Structure 1
Amino acid sequence: MLNKHIPIPLYYQLKEKLSAAILSGELPPGALLPSERELSDHYSISRMTVRQALGEMVKEGLLVREQGKGTFVAEPKFNQGLLKLTSFSEDMRNRGLKPDSKILAIYVQDATPAVAAELRLEAVGINQQVIVFERVRLADNKPMAYEISHLPLHRFPELEQESLHSTSLYNLLEEKYGLVIRYARQTMEVGLSRPAESDILGIPAGSAVLKIERTTFDADDEPIEYVKSVYRGDRYKLYAELHR
C-alpha cells in the first residue's frame, strides 16, 4: 500500500511502485495494467491521482494507451548510437534480435533533383537513374522503421534483382561489388507520422517518429546511397558518449 503519512505525493509513490514492477519484469512489455478504477480501489486513492501517475509514465515512455483497449507496458526503447555507422541488420543482430525486411517496392526511376544532388548525378553524361528500395525494417517480426533507399544505377547494375529480405544491403554491396563503405552524413529530426507511414509501422496516425536522412560514401569519397527513414518514436532513443 501507499504511505499517506509522508510528504511524498501519492501519485509519485504509485508511479515509483509501477515503474519498479516494470523494471523488475513483474510487469513485462505488453502487459495490460489494471483499470484506473481498479488501481484506485486497490490503493485507496482517487482516480485523479491514478490518472496523474499513469499520465507521467506515458510521457516517459513506460506506458502506452490504446483507445478502447486500456493502458499497456511499453516495449523497451533501443539506444540509437550516433557515432558508429552500421546497417539496420547489423544493429539488430548486435542487440540479440532477428532482423528482417518486408520489401514494399523495388523500381528504377530518374533521380529527383534533390536525390541527384545527394548522389552527385548532376554531371553531364552520368546516368541519372536510381534504384529505389522501399522497405519495412523488422526486428523479431515487429515493424521498427520504414526506409526508402536510392542507389545510383550505373554503380550497381542488376541490384534490383537481389533479395534483401534478411540480407544487409551494406554486406551485399561489399561482397558483390567489392565496395568499401567509409562513412556517412546523417541528419535527424523529430516529427509526426503521416497516415501511410502509420499504417506501415502499425502506430496511431500522428505518432512521434524519428526522421533520418543519410548519405553514405565509399573509400573514394563517392556517395553510394541516399536513404530516408522513419523510425518509431516509441521504440528508439538517441545515445551518444561525449568527451570534453
Structure 2
Amino acid sequence: MKTAVDAGVAQYAQLASVLRHQIAQGEIPAGSRLPTVAELAEAHGVARITARQAYGVLAREGLVHSARGRGTFVADAPTQRGAGLDAHLRAAINDPAAAELRIDLIEQQRRQPLPADLLGPFKPCASYDMVKKRHIHQGEPFCLIEMHVDSSVRALFPRGAEKRHKIAWLINQHAPGRLHEVQQTLSVAPADLPLSRALDCPFGTPVLQMTRRVLDRQGQVVLAGRFWYRGDRFVMDQSIPFDVWLHHPGMVIPDYHRGP
C-alpha cells in the first residue's frame, strides 16, 4: 500500500530510489552482483517489468551495468552525490573563474525589472538584463541558471562574453569593487519535467535549487539569480573560520528581513 510519501510516484522509480540509496550508503558494495529481474521483483512484490525499469533507470545514471549471461552489477566506481565529483567539475561549480565548462545561452531579455522575490528588502538598480543559460561539463549539463544583472554593468561586457565566462567573474573584471556581499539560499526538490529535460536527468530525481543575490556597498542588488543543479552533479566547497561562524552567524544564515 502506498503512503502519503510515495503516493503518485511510479513503482519503478520507488524501487530505483531504494536501490540507489543502498548503493550510495555502501549497503550494496561496488562490483556486487545484483539479483536477477525475477528475484528483485519477487523480493519487492512488484512485476518483472517494474524491476526491469528500475534497473534501466540506474543503468542510465551509471550506477549499474549488465553483462550478457552474467547478470547486473553495481558499477566499480558508482556516482556518490558530491563526494565523487572530479576536481574539474568541482571547479566548474565553485570557481567564478572556471574555464573548463561550456555555457549555452538559452534566452536573453534586456532592461527588465528585477522579480520581487529576488529583490527582497533591498534597493533595485534602474533595470536588469536577464540571461538564461545552461552550464555543461564534459558534454553533460549540471546547472540551469536564470540570472539578472544590472543593465548598466552588463553594458560593459565585451560582446558575447557571457558565452565564455561566468557573469560574476565578468562583473568583477569590468566593474571591480562593485560586488560586496553574497546572499544565497539552498533547498532540494524533485525535478519537474522542464528541469529533467534541461538537465538531462530522470523525472523526480533530486535537484538542488539555489537563490542568490549579490549586493554592492550601498545595498543595491547588482546581480541576482536562480540556479538548479542536478543532485548527482553538485557539491559546494566552503571554508569558514570557526570564530567567524560562531560570532557572525549572519555570514552563514543571513537576515533577509533587514533593510539596506
Q: Tell me which interval the TM-score lies in, with the shorter structure as reference length.
A: 0.5 to 0.7
In structure 2, do the counterparts of structure 1 residues 177 and 35 end up closer, same or farther at CA, with 3 Å as the change threshold? same
Matched, 1:47 2:51: no
Once superposed, what is the RMSD of the aligned Cα atoms? 4.0
Does the CA-based 8 Å contact 2:189-2:207 persist in structure 1? Answer: yes
Tell me which residue corresponds to 1:66.
Answer: 56
Tell me which residue corresponds to 1:36.
Answer: 35
- The SS at the match of 2:103 is strand
Tell me which residue corresponds to 2:211.
Answer: 213
Match of 2:188 among 168, 190, 195: 190
Does the CA-based 8 Å contact 1:213-1:229 persist in structure 2? Answer: yes
**Structure-2 separation of matches of 1:76 and 1:212:** 20
Matched, 1:143 2:141: yes
| Structure richer in strand, relative to its length | 1
TM-score by length of 1: 0.60
Does the CA-based 8 Å contact 2:210-2:227 persist in structure 1? Answer: yes
Q: Quick one: percent identity of the two aligned structures? A: 11
**Structure-2 separation of matches of 1:168 and 1:220:** 23
**Structure-2 separation of matches of 1:99 and 1:66:** 28
**Structure-1 separation of matches of 2:97 and 2:26:** 31
**Equivalent residues in 2 for 1:18-29, closer than 5 Å:** 19=29, 21=30
Tell me which residue corresponds to 1:77.
Answer: 81
Does the CA-based 8 Å contact 2:96-2:169 persist in structure 1? Answer: no
TM-score by length of 2: 0.57
- The SS at the match of 1:66 is helix
Deviation sequence 1:174-195 (CA, Å, 0-9, x none): 2222244333111111111121
Does the CA-based 8 Å contact 1:119-1:152 persist in structure 2? Answer: no
Unpaired stretches in structure 1, ≥5 consecutive residues: 1-11, 22-26, 28-32, 39-45, 53-63, 81-85
Q: CA deviation at 1:216?
A: 1.1
Match of 2:174 among 170, 176, 179: 176
AA matched with 2:103: S
Unpaired stretches in structure 2, ≥5 consecutive residues: 1-21, 45-53, 65-74, 86-90, 247-260
Matched, 1:120 2:118: no
Does the CA-based 8 Å contact 1:131-1:160 persist in structure 2? Answer: no
- The SS at the match of 1:173 is helix
Does the CA-based 8 Å contact 2:112-2:130 persist in structure 1? Answer: no
Does the CA-based 8 Å contact 1:151-1:225 persist in structure 2? Answer: yes
- The SS at the match of 2:198 is helix
Match of 2:104 among 102, 105, 111: 102
Tell me which residue corresponds to 1:224.
Answer: 222
In structure 2, do the counterparts of structure 1 residues 113 and 136 end up closer, same or farther at CA, with 3 Å as the change threshold? same
Deviation sequence 1:31-75 (CA, Å, 0-9, x none): xx866329xxxxxxx9359978xxxxxxxxxxx953495752443
Q: CA deviation at 1:208?
A: 1.1
**Structure-1 separation of matches of 2:162 and 2:129:** 13
Q: CA deviation at 1:106?
A: 1.6
AA matched with 1:47: E
In structure 2, do the counterparts of structure 1 residues 87 and 204 end up closer, same or farther at CA, with 3 Å as the change threshold? closer
**Structure-2 separation of matches of 1:169 and 1:115:** 17
Tell me which residue corresponds to 2:67.
Answer: none
